Amino acid sequence: MEPFGPRRQVEIYSRSPGSPEPLPIGFQEWEARARAILADGPFDYVAGGAGREDTMRANREAFERRRIHPRMLRDVAERDLTIELFGVHVPAPIILAPVGVQSIIHPQAERAPARAAASSGIPFTLSTVSSVTIEQIAAEMGTALRWFQLYPGRDRAVMNSLVSRAEAAGYRCLILTVDTTMLGWRERDLRKSYLPFMHGEGMANYLSDPVFRSQLSSPPEVDPRSAVLHFLDIYVNPSFTWDDVDFLRTQTRMPIVLKGILHPDDAREALTHGIDGIVVSNHGGRQVDGGVATLDVLPAVCAAVGDRVPVLMDSGIRSGADVVKALALGARAVLIGRPYLYALAAAGEDGVRAVIRNLLAELDLQLALSGCSSLAGIGPDLLWQSQAHSLDVR
């Protein structure tokens, strides 16, 4: 395959300069475009974080502190961005993160990102609280790679039903989000009393679920309010512990990946529970305020896990440089959230496709310009090691 980094550049530079409304390139421009299009409620729901949004800032600062130390005069004509994840070949170490209730930002909610991911071959992760059902997204994606994200719920029967449906619909990985046993304190949303779930958004998988429906006294079409209340009661569970993980482990053949692990001791514990992977994540800074940046804890988690299972990471990835830094510190792959959501809001499926292609192109170029022809070349040596950095000074 011809490397797509320069190919994408040529494609963009070949547009006539005055062509109407070209799509944005960088994250900040996409964000501004989404900001202009969306109402305050949906925009802030996506853009905001917990509390004073200090964790969000920490995520970015952690990336900005690390510096790539490139090597020259190596043959980089052919670059290989592919990885193998949970036994499946993936064309690049990038995954669309699970994000719920996309209906608040675009009518093609979840469908558009799923199709965009499918077209490039990178995994799309469907959220438990999506606007579109597990089966509908499966239909959109055909044989393309898809993962399913599960919230740690209160009702094992409903959880099992959702997991079984995902497995039956061809999802290849189960992402269990362990950092959301209750909802974070999000000032932007609280200020506006804006929570999509309160109005029945993001319940597609529940409303379509036979077990969930069986627990309602009237069908949701008749008594939607009761359905919402039951959903709010069970969709997350503050008593969810390692025992529930063990139970879940018995319920599916899909690999189970814990998303939200930040401490090496939790990562070690995960290994003893037969977990297949870890996502170092702080939910994009949306749960704990004042929390540690994911990039800062990534090396310790990777050291604890070793080569036993893949460690992925998210929260703050905005550019190819960020991906390189995350991989250099031990991540096998990264998940992106807000970058594709802003593009979805601003330009639908075309937007998401553009974001994916641009990120892949930028990553490909970063690799080449750093002297790497494959991801195997990205290790700690690719980051500048001043003594200060080895101390992790911010």
Identified binder of a second copy from the candidate list 32, 157, 216, 292, rule CB under 8 A: 292
Cα separation, 185 vs 200, in Å, equals 20
Residue 41 Cβ vs a second copy, minimum distance, rounded to whole Å: 7
CB-based contact 192:178 (threshold 8 Å): no
Closer Cβ to a second copy, 15 or 253, answer by number: 15
Dihedral sign, Cα of residue 18, residue 21, residue 23, residue 25: positive
Closer Cβ to a second copy, 139 or 198, answer by number: 198
Enumerate residues 98-127 that contact a second copy by CB under 8 A.
Answer: none
Cα–Cα distance list, 113 to 10, 317, 349 (Å): 24, 17, 6
Residues with Cβ < 8 Å from 135, sequence gap 6 or more? 165, 169, 208
CB-based contact 158:130 (threshold 8 Å): no
Q: Does 227 bind a second copy (CB under 8 A)?
A: no
CB-based contact 388:65 (threshold 8 Å): no
Q: Does 303 bind a second copy (CB under 8 A)?
A: no
Of the listed pieces 114-122, 259-267, 330-338, 345-353, which binds a second copy according to CB under 8 A?
259-267
Closer Cβ to a second copy, 142 or 290, answer by number: 290
Enumerate residues 46-75 that contact a second copy by CB under 8 A.
Answer: 51-52, 54, 58, 63-75
Closer Cβ to a second copy, 251 or 319, answer by number: 319
Size of the site for a second copy (CB under 8 A): 103
Q: Does 33 bind a second copy (CB under 8 A)?
A: no
b/e map 317-334, b = 16+ CB within 10 Å: bbbbbbbbbbbbbbbbbb
CB-based contact 95:147 (threshold 8 Å): yes
Q: Does 194 bind a second copy (CB under 8 A)?
A: yes
Identified binder of a second copy from the candidate list 107, 142, 238, 380, rule CB under 8 A: 238
Identified binder of a second copy from the candidate list 31, 44, 140, 296, rule CB under 8 A: 296
Please tell me which residue in 230, 263, 283, 389 is annotated as part of the active site: 283
230 assigned to active site: no
Identified binder of a second copy from the candidate list 158, 162, 258, 355, rule CB under 8 A: 258
The half-sphere exposure of 218 on its side-chain side, counting CA atoms within 13 A, is 9
Q: Does 153 bind a second copy (CB under 8 A)?
A: no
Q: Which amino acid is at 300?
A: A
Residue 128 Cβ vs a second copy, minimum distance, rounded to whole Å: 17
**Which pairing describes strands 333-336 and 124-126: parallel, antiparallel, or unpaired?**
unpaired
Rg (CA), the chain: 20
Q: Does 6 bind a second copy (CB under 8 A)?
A: yes
Q: Does 233 bind a second copy (CB under 8 A)?
A: no
Report, as residue numbers or ranges, the catalytic residues. 283
